[in-house]
């Protein structure tokens, strides 16, 4: 394998603030470093080759277009802030590798850790084989999955502009909001009172949960990280979409039903003990334009639960999931649990990371039934925005952070008419067969259900 650093060209300096405020969402995600690596990746496959020198320049320019990306997280006992780096031109923001095993090099990149206090918030690797693959690593402390997709579109845009004008400099986004205030402004006083009501209800249900069955991985060293990646191709995707539409359900509803059934097959829960699942929501859904003011963290969580119903079919599970999802969508989805992110805003950063984070892990290990497995649906990658001049994109997917054992999270993303499920975990030897088994069971549920429906329709 041959590795080389691509050319770097420093952009024209522009005046910008040296420090940026850290919104409470960033602080909340920072506290989660005790649970997972807090890295989100975007892997883009091309049907040809791109210009590596132009890509290196585009990567560097994006650090100016969204200034927070060119920062390091600075913490001390009493405050936390984003501080603009002065060494961006000497960092290896972009690298290129000539590869004989693309899948192996992708996995190696996905498992390399990064610290937002020391390393750059964005790292990009170009893997060159017969065709090119671009791997983007972004710290979740600075951006959620929606922010990562926005960054990928920004990178593609800068790359295209540089083809037409090598002196191109993108506009610097100094005034775009990274705060939850851009969401809260969308609600009037009565809606805010309803959100507070939901907050108290969700707090009671989440802090004092009934006993649940659970799915946990084997404990393993955090340094031994791996990823499982499973693709749902076009034919199965279309079948899932058609099946869901016929029942008034979304693709996300169908995937949730398959995940609940897959976990139930593995753990065989008792009828009186429901399986609980934590999942995520993008708060950009509440914004009129569907877009945030800047690259940021703008997402939250909510919980679903399902009592086992032995002998019931997929339709029954989907009906129950659809009912729960329709309810939470109509009741300020995710906003009830968002105040949990306020806690990191009132506790000093280092104390938070060292004390609160460790306490969270202690609670998880001592009371694992309280911490459910998770699904984060990171949404569809827009094929109309992910366009690179002169070279087509054949596939793209996102990965969620790799969680430390025994915690488990599945990431889901879409591109064109396909879906990709990913799971980052620790303990390759112990947990890889388990994780791959989970993803395969989920896919099998989808295949069996859609095939059965197709057979009935043809009769």
- What 8-state DSSP symbol labels residue 296? -
Q: For residue range 32-56, what is the model confidence (pLDDT) as tens digits?
A: 888 899 999 999 999 999 999 999 9
Task: Write out pLDDT tens, residues 186-236.
Answer: 988 898 888 888 887 777 766 666 677 788 899 899 999 999 999 999 999
- At 9 the pLDDT is 41
Whole-number Å distance between alpha carbons of 249 and 326: 9
Residues paired with residue 424 on neighbouring β-strands, in sequence order: 227
Task: Let me know if 165 is exposed, middle or buried by CB neighbors in 10 A (0-12, 13-18, 19+).
Answer: exposed
Residue 272 pLDDT level (bands cut at 50, 70, 90): confident
Residues 6+ apart with CB under 8 A from 270: 213, 308
Q: Are 267 and 213 in contact (CB under 8 A)?
A: yes
Contacts of 235 (CB under 8 A, 6+ apart): none
What percent of the chain clears pLDDT 90, i.e. is strictly above it? 65
Give the model's pLDDT for residue 155.
98
Evaluate whether 40 touches 148 at the Cβ level (below 8 Å). yes
Quick check: 30 pLDDT over 50? yes
Helix (H) or strand (E) holding 372: none
- In angstroms, the CA 300 to CA 290 distance is 16
pTM above 0.85, yes or no: yes
What's the CA angle centered on 113, arms 218 and 104, to 5 degrees? 80
Dihedral angle over CA of 207, 213, 217, 222, nearest 10 = 10
Rounded CA-CA distance 407/376 in Å is 14
Note the pLDDT tens digit of each residue in 375-390: 999 999 999 999 998 8
pLDDT higher than 50, residue 26 = yes
pLDDT in tens, 54-95: 999 999 999 999 999 999 999 877 778 999 999 999 999 999
Measuring CA to CA, how many Å separate 52 from each of 59, 101, 316? 10, 19, 51
Q: Assess whether pLDDT exceeds 50 at residue 181.
A: yes
Instruction: Establish how many alpha carbons lie within 13 A of residue 399's alpha carbon, considering only the half-sphere containing its beta carbon.
Output: 30
pLDDT in tens, 406-452: 899 999 999 999 999 999 999 999 999 999 999 999 999 999 998 87
Model confidence at 1, pLDDT cuts 50, 70, 90, reads very low
Rounded to an integer, the average pLDDT of 286-290 is 95
Q: What pLDDT is recorded for position 366? A: 47
DSSP code of residue 36? B
More reliable by pLDDT, 21 or 120 = 120
pLDDT beyond 90 at 345: no
At 47 the pLDDT is 97
Average pLDDT in the chain: 88
Q: In the chain, what are the domains?
A: 2-164 (3.30.559.10), 183-458 (3.30.559.30)
Crossing angle of helices 234-246 and 251-267, in 10° steps, is 100
Task: Judge whether 382 and 150 are in contact, CB under 8 Å.
Answer: no
Instruction: Please give the C-alpha separations between residue 194 and each of 190, 204, 300, 323, 327, in angstroms, as whole numbers.
Output: 6, 16, 17, 20, 14
């Amino acid at each position: 394998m041959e590795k080389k650093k691509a050319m770097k060209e420093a952009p024209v300096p522009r005046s910008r603030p040296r420090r940026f405020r850290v919104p409470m969402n960033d602080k909340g995600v920072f506290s989660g470093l005790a649970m997972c690596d807090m890295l989100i990746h975007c892997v883009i496959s091309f049907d040809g080759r791109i210009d590596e020198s132009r890509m290196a320049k585009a990567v560097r320019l994006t650090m100016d277009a969204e200034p927070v990306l060119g920062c390091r997280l600075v913490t001390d006992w009493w405050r936390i802030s984003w501080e603009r780096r002065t060494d961006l031109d000497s960092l290896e923001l972009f690298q290129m590798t000539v590869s004989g095993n693309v899948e192996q090099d992708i996995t190696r990149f996905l498992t390399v850790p990064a610290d937002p206090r020391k390393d750059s918030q964005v790292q990009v690797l170009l893997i060159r084989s017969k065709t090119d693959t671009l791997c983007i690593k972004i710290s979740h402390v600075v951006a959620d999955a929606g922010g990562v997709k926005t960054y990928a579109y920004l990178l593609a845009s800068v790359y295209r502009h540089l083809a037409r004008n090598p002196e191109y400099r993108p506009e610097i986004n100094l005034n775009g909001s990274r705060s939850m205030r851009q969401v809260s402004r969308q609600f009037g006083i009565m809606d805010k009172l309803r959100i507070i009501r939901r907050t108290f209800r969700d707090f009671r249900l989440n802090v004092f949960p009934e006993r649940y069955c659970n799915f946990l991985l084997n404990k393993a060293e955090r340094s031994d990280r791996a990823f499982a990646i499973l693709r749902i191709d076009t034919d199965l995707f279309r079948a899932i979409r058609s099946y869901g539409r016929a029942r008034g359900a979304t693709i996300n509803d169908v995937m949730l039903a398959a995940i609940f059934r897959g976990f139930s097959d593995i753990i065989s829960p008792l009828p009186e003990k429901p399986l609980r699942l934590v999942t995520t929501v993008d708060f950009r859904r509440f914004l009129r334009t569907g877009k945030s003011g800047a690259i940021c963290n703008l997402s939250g969580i909510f919980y679903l639960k399902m009592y086992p119903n032995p002998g019931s079919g997929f339709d029954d599970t989907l009906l129950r999931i659809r009912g729960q999802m329709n309810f939470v969508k109509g009741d300020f989805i995710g906003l009830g649990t968002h105040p949990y992110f306020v806690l990191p805003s009132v506790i000093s950063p280092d104390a938070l990371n060292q004390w609160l984070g460790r306490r969270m892990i202690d609670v998880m290990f001592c009371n694992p039934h309280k911490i459910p497995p998770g699904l984060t649906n990171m949404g569809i990658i827009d094929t109309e925005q992910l366009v690179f001049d002169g070279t087509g994109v054949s596939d793209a997917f996102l990965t969620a952070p790799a969680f430390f054992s025994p915690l488990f999270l599945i990431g889901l993303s879409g591109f064109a008419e396909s879906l990709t499920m990913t799971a980052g975990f620790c303990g390759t030897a112990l947990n890889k067969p388990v994780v791959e088994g989970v993803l395969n069971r989920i896919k099998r549920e989808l295949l069996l259900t859609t095939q059965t429906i197709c057979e009935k329709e043809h009769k």
